[in-house]
Amino acid sequence: MSQVFHDIEKKIINSLKENSIQTPETLENSTHLSPDQIRRGIEWLKLKDLAIVDETKSSVISLGKNGLDSFEKGLPERRLLNLIKNGPKKLSEIQKELGFVFGPAIGLCRKNNWIETSSDQIILKTTPSELPGEKSLQLIGNNKLPKEQIDKTDLSELSKRPDFVIEDIIKNKKISLTTSAKSLDVSNISGAIDVEAEVPEVFVARTHPLKDTIDEIREIFVTLGFSEILGNMTQSSFWNFDALFTPQDHPARELQDTFFLDGISAKKIANSEQIRKVSDSHKKNWRYQWDINEAQKMVLRTHTTCVTIKHLAENKPDEARIFSLGRVFRNEKVSYKHLVEFNQIEGIVVGKDANLRNLMGIQREFYKRIGITKIKFWPTFFPYTEPSLQTMVYNEKLGKWIELFGMGIFRPEVTKPLGITKPVLAWGGGIERIAMLKYDLDDVREFYNNNLGWLRSNTKCQ
């Protein structure tokens, strides 16, 4: 015979010559091969008509939750009959003793005419020596028994009851050699390398797709001449709201929208001149009594605008191109497009000739570089910009336009109290929504599900 044999096949053949009928498990022990090698070797021998695989199925019976409970305490009807064997008892007493099995117990006893009930009592009529299913219950107990060892009729009584019996189907394989294989001497036959055998799958380390998107956005802004600024994720309400002309009774400052740090207030929020002028702006334009205690409350920042406005107030540049990128927090209901914690990008352009046309042009260029071409601008409202626009981009997977970035020109009520004299263009939005478009997702939560299959299959953000 001119066949070529793998070492796995040789070991299986030699083992079956010593013990003619074996299971895959006994072959593992006798050959010291892995389960996968045994499976593969048997298939190879079958294809060469050298192995016979006899497959059978058997049923194994064990008790479920309710079955085990009845094994320990007795069948519900047996427990009921035992309670009244010495005389009638009140329904309320029996119900208290039996608990949730009272209903099934009394129903079966009535059906079989073992009891008689009056308005408030249960009376014993007869006590059967053995109840249907009782023999099987005691036979199975805490064990697993082959189904053929249990009386079919008696077992069927238990099988009708919910969660009394569990039936497991066990597949059995017996491996033997064909006649031609028994006379085969494989000791002098050269081995072979299985060139089609699977190799171990190795997953190299890589950055998260969302991190790739963040790095790409950062690179785009740097190449457009912007400089990055950093800021704390915890901010005083003064810089997060008040400096941005958001009134202290605005709904965005309520607990249902903002995460406040319990019992923590900022001791120094700004210099006295900044506090006075921001306070005066609120009093004059919003017509209410501004409260410094509200401004001192610490929050998890709801946007990165607090970082950029503080930078502008401290540096008062005549011209600037800056951006801030980081995590922000909103107390919102989680959905396919909303998270309570997400990443935001915000850009600022300061210059004497800065206008709305410049702002839309920068936005179009940014979207073009990131690969988004279907965009449009809608007028909208923000407390700290006027005019204000909303960028809408088309999501092919959702089949509709979705909001992406908010943008506008800072109002004089924002810039003047802080000593900023030049027009300021501002925009910002969630990075996860951009990543959704790039990775063709319809649910922002996919980025945080730790689905390793998806994470490993995605190509690097281009």
Q: Looking at 170-304, list the stretches that DSSP marks H as alpha helix, in order from N- to C-terminal side.
A: 179-182, 209-223, 237-240, 272-286, 292-295
Domain boundary among the residues 192, 226, 261 is at: 192
- CATH number of the domain that 440 lies in? 3.30.930.10
CA 94 to CA 77: how far, in whole Å? 12
Asked if the structure places residue 56 within a domain, the reply is no
Six token digits for residue 330 = 């909103």
Per the structure, the complete domain to which residue 27 belongs is given by 5-50+178-192
Asked if the structure places residue 117 within a domain, the reply is yes
List the beta bridge partners of residue 57. 171
Instruction: Find out whether 229 and 220 touch, Cβ atoms under 8 Å.
Output: no
Residue 344 and residue 266 share a domain: yes
**Band of residue 461 on the pLDDT scale cut at 50, 70, 90:** very low
Six token digits for residue 419 = 């000593």
Instruction: Find out whether 198 and 173 touch, Cβ atoms under 8 Å.
Output: no
Residue 126 and residue 43 share a domain: no
CA 125 to CA 122: how far, in whole Å? 10
Residue 405 and residue 279 share a domain: yes
SS in 3 state form for 18-66? HCCCECHHHHHHHHCCCHHHHHHHHHHHHHCCCEEEEEEEEEEEEECHH
pLDDT at residue 1, rounded to an integer:
41
Residue 39 and residue 102 share a domain: no
Asked if the structure places residue 125 within a domain, the reply is yes
Task: Please give the helix or strand (H or E) that residue 357 lies within, else none.
Answer: helix 356-370
Asked if the structure places residue 201 within a domain, the reply is no
pLDDT at residue 192, rounded to an integer:
58
Residue 237 and residue 97 share a domain: no
Residue 388 and residue 288 share a domain: yes
Q: What is the mean pLDDT of the chain?
A: 89
Asked if the structure places residue 108 within a domain, the reply is yes
DSSP type of residue 382: B
Asked if the structure places residue 203 within a domain, the reply is no
Residue 401 and residue 373 share a domain: yes
Residue 432 and residue 349 share a domain: yes
Residue 44 and residue 68 share a domain: no
Instruction: Find out whether 214 and 29 touch, Cβ atoms under 8 Å.
Output: no
Asked if the structure places residue 462 within a domain, the reply is no
Specify the number of domains making up the chain.
3
Residue 320 and residue 449 share a domain: yes
Residue 438 and residue 340 share a domain: yes
Q: Which tens digit of pLDDT belongs to each residue from 54-83?
A: 988 889 999 999 999 999 999 999 998 999
Asked if the structure places residue 135 within a domain, the reply is yes
- CATH number of the domain that 44 lies in? 1.10.10
Q: Which tens digit of pLDDT belongs to each residue from 174-229?
A: 999 998 888 888 776 666 566 776 777 888 888 899 999 999 999 999 999 999 99
Residue 162 and residue 85 share a domain: yes
Peptide bond into 247 cis (omega under 30): no
pTM exceeds 0.95 for this model: no
Q: Which tens digit of pLDDT belongs to each residue from 313-354?
A: 999 999 999 999 999 999 888 887 778 899 999 999 999 999
CA 358 to CA 291: how far, in whole Å? 37
